[in-house]
Structure 1
Amino acid sequence: MSREPFAKESAMPALARLSALVLLCAASPVLAGEATIEVRPLDDVKAVFATVESVDEVLARARIGGTVSALLVDEGTQVKAGERIAAVGDPKLALTTAGIAAKLKASEAERDLAAIEHRRAQDLLAKGAATKARVEDAATRLEVANRAIAAIRAEVQVSAERSGEGAVLAPKAGRVLKVHVTEGSVVLPGETIATIAAENYVLRLALPERHARFIKQGDSVEVGARALGAADAALRPGTVRQVYPRIEDGRVFADVAVEGLDSFFVGERVPVHISTGKRPAIIVPREAISRRMGVDLVTVKGVGAVAVQLGAPTADGIEVMSGLKSGDVVTW
Structure 2
Amino acid sequence: MRSTVLSILLLWAASGALAQTQPVISEPITEWKPVYGEVETRNQLPARARIAGTLVALSVTEGDRVEAGQLVGTVEDEKLSVQIDALDAQAEALRAQLTNAQADLSRGQTLQQSGTISAQRLDALQTSVDVLTNQIAATEAQRRVIQRQIEEGGVTAPEAGIVLSVPVSRGSFVAQGETVAVIGSGGAFLRLSIPERFAQTLAAGDRIEMEAGEGTIAKLYPQIEGGRLQADVEVEGLEERYVGLRLPVRLPVGSQEAVIVPQAALSRGGGLDMVTVETPEGPVQRIVVPGREVTRDGAAWREILTGLTPGETVMVPHE
TM-score by length of 1: 0.80
Q: Which amino acid aligns with 1:161?
A: R
> Which residue is equivalent to 1:320?
304
CA distance 1:142–1:323, change in 2 (3 Å): farther
Cα offset for 1:149?
2.0
Unaligned runs of 5+ in 2: 1-6
Correspondent of 1:261 among 238, 256, 262: 238
**One-letter code aligned to 1:90:** D
Equivalent of 1:32, from 20, 27, 31? 20
**1:178 shift after superposition:** 2.4
1:175 to 153, 156, 162: 162
2:291 aligns to what?
311
Cα displacement string for residues 171-208 of structure 1 (whole angstroms, at most 9, x for unaligned residues): 22222232222222222222222223225111111100
Q: Structure 1 residues 58, 28: closer, same or farther in 2, change over 3 A? A: closer
Q: Which residue of 2 aligns with 1:44?
A: 31
Aligned-partner Cα distance in 1 for 2:159–2:169: 21
1:331 and 1:198 mapped to 2: Cα distance?
56
Matches within 5 A, 1:31-110: 31-38=19-26, 40-110=27-97
Q: In 1, are the aligned partners of 2:23 and 2:310 still within 8 Å (CA)?
A: no
Counterpart amino acid of residue 289 in structure 2: Q
| Mapped partners of 2:32, 2:15: distance in 1 | 40
Q: Tell me the equivalent position of 1:282.
A: 259
Q: Is the 8 A contact 1:44 1:277 kept in 2?
A: yes
Q: In structure 2, what is the equivalent of residue 202 of structure 1?
A: 189
Amino acid at match of 1:311: G
What residue is the counterpart of 1:15 in the other structure? none
Aligned AA (1:59): P
**1:298–1:330 CA contact under 8 A, matched in 2:** yes
SS in 1 for 2:69: coil
Per the TM alignment, residue 242 of structure 1 is displaced from its structure 2 partner at its CA by: 1.8
1:268-290: CA deviations, max 9, x gaps? 11111221122222222233333
What one-letter code is carried by the residue in structure 2 that aligns with 1:287?
A: A
Gaps of 5+ in 1: 1-19, 225-234
SS at match of 2:224: strand
Q: 1:115 to 1:46 in 2, by over 3 A?
A: same
Secondary structure in 2 matching 1:248 = coil
**Secondary structure, counterpart of 1:189 in structure 2:** coil
2:130 equivalent in structure 1: 143
Quote the offset at 1:99 in angstroms: 0.5
Q: Which residue of 2 is the match for residue 248 of structure 1? A: 225
The answer as to whether partners of 1:78 and 1:175 remain within 8 angstroms in 2 is yes
* Aligned mates of 1:310, 1:119 — CA distance in 2: 112
Q: For residue 103 of structure 1, report the CA deviation from its aligned partner.
A: 1.5
AA paired with 1:249?
Answer: G
Q: Which residue of 2 aligns with 1:230?
A: none
In structure 1, C-alpha distance between the alignment counterparts of 2:99 and 2:144, rounded to whole Å:
22
> Within 2, Cα distance between the matches of 1:259 and 1:165?
39
Counterpart of 1:211, as a letter, is: F
Instruction: Answer whether contact 2:39 2:240 (CA < 8 A) is retained.
Output: no
Structure 1 residues 77-135: Cα deviation after superposition (integer angstroms, max 9, x where no partner):
22222222222222211111100111121222333334334444444444444444444
Give the structure 2 partner of residue 189 of structure 1.
Answer: 176
1:264, CA displacement in angstroms? 4.0
C-alpha RMSD of the superposition: 2.7
SS in 2 for 1:246: coil
- Distance between the aligned counterparts of 2:140 and 2:33, measured in 1? 68
Partner Cα distance (1:24, 1:81) in 2 = 74
CA distance in 2: counterparts of 1:199 and 1:123, whole angstroms: 73
C-alpha distance 117-325 of structure 1, shift in aligned 2 (>3 A): farther
1:158 aligns with 2:142: no
Deviation at 1:218, TM superposition (A): 1.8
CA distance in 1, matches of 2:191, 2:139: 54
Shift of 1:53: 1.2
Paired with 2:125 and 2:292, the residues of 1 have a C-alpha distance of 99
- Equivalent pair of 2:23/2:311 in contact (CA under 8 Å): no
With normalisation by structure 2, the TM-score equals: 0.83
Distance 1:42 1:119 in 2: 102
Distance 1:149 1:330, change over 3 A: same
User: Is the 1:55–1:202 Cα contact (8 Å) retained in structure 2?
Assistant: yes
How many matched pairs? 301
Match of residue 216, structure 2, among 226, 239, 242: 239
